[in-house]
Structure 1
Amino acid sequence: METIEEKGKAAAIVAYLTIIGTIIAYFMNNDTKNPFASFHIRQALGIHITYFLLGILVSWFDSWWVSSAFYVFIAVLWGCGLVMAIQGNRTEVPVLGPKFQQWFSTVN
């Protein structure tokens, strides 16, 4: 018998593969409303939105250091989220993970 995590793992992993993947994962999870997949869809959506919003802010700076820090930050968030989805864990990404769950609580 499959666990909740195993049933939602595919959608959870797909969610981290670009913003299009997040949209696809949302529709993959639309019928089943798997809580594990929903958790990771919210995390991935938050990471993607953070990438775009912070990217606009970082583009104002003409600094290699600022750009590098931005990309490292996003890579760490993305990597942590993807690894947790693959492992079947519901661990929030560092720093912003709890906020993503709060802000996107309506995403099921």
Structure 2
Amino acid sequence: MENNITTTDNGKTAAIISYFSIIGWLIAYFAMHKDKKTELSSYHLRQTLLFAIVSIILGWGFGFVLGILIVTTGIIALAYLMYVVYIALFAVWIIGLIGAFKGLKTPMPIIGAKAQTMFPSI
């Protein structure tokens, strides 16, 4: 009996996996996207790469500045500002992930459109 059913996710799996840390991005890019490029996976790989870069810069930068402010002023409550940054990043991440699950090219707020022009080779 011949099985004529072919399955394809049109890059949806790679798009979803790219949202789960830099390790997920590397797996999605090298194992799933590099040889079978699709518009959807390219779109989300670009977004998640820029998101990872922005998250690292904001985390380190904000942590450094707030650390200095806490040490110099003694106001420990300033540490709660970091939570605001992390909650905002989480909300942006969720918006992108929902788009990937739906198979849509939904841009992440603030960085989504910029990512498409910054990494055109992906």
Structure 2, unaligned runs of 5 or more: 1-5, 68-77
Highest Rg: 1 or 2?
2
For 1:96 and 1:65, the matched residues in 2 are separated by: 24
For 1:7 and 1:90, the matched residues in 2 are separated by: 12
SS at 1:89 equivalent: coil
Alignment TM-score, normalising by the size of structure 1: 0.89
Query: Which residue pairs with 1:13 in the alignment?
Result: 16
1:38 paired to 2:42: yes
Query: 1:18-33 alignment to 2 at 5 Å?
Result: 18-27=21-30, 28-33=32-37
Provide the identity percentage: 35
Tell me by how many angstroms 1:68 deviates.
1.4
SS at 2:37 equivalent: coil
- What RMSD, in angstroms, separates the aligned Cα atoms of the two structures? 1.6
Query: Which residue pairs with 1:50 in the alignment?
Result: 54
The residue identity in structure 1 corresponding to 2:19 is Y
Structure 1, unaligned runs of 5 or more: none
For 2:96 and 2:102, the matched residues in 1 are separated by: 10
Tell me by how many angstroms 1:64 deviates.
2.5
Distance 1:42 1:69, change over 3 A: same
Residue of structure 2 aligned with 1:72, choices 78, 87, 106: 87
SS at 2:96 equivalent: helix
Tell me by how many angstroms 1:66 deviates.
2.2
Alignment TM-score, normalising by the size of structure 2: 0.79
Corresponding residue pairs, total: 105
Tell me by how many angstroms 1:2 deviates.
6.4
